[in-house]
Amino acid sequence: MQDYKRQKIMLVGDNIATLTMGKSILGEYNDIYSLPSANKMFEYLKLVTPDIILLDIEMPGMNGYEAITIL
């Protein structure tokens, strides 16, 4: 088996079931950061630079489009 670099993936959304399923599916080979809101995502971005962000569009508070604009 080839050496595999674990990727850092941020899952951002307000649906706990979706975050749990995403972590279950992607977590075996990747480092997963499940975050319940865009505001939490921005807090974690001060600590972690992800390889990819999977971002929900419809969330209370700041929605995904607003978060993308800031990113």
pLDDT score of 4: 75
pLDDT digits (tens, 9 = 90+) for 14-23: 999 999 999 9
**Residue 37: which of 16, 70, 54, 60 has the closest Cα?**
60
| Domain locations along the chain | 7-70
Whether the per-residue pLDDT at 1 is higher than 90: the answer is: no
The correct answer on CATH 1.10.357.10 for the domain covering 7-70 is: no
pLDDT digits (tens, 9 = 90+) for 34-69: 999 999 999 999 999 999 999 999 999 999 999 999
Q: Which letter does DSSP use for residue 62 in this model?
A: S
pLDDT score of 31: 97
Separation between Cα atoms, residue 58 and residue 64, nearest integer Å: 6
Separation between Cα atoms, residue 3 and residue 51, nearest integer Å: 17
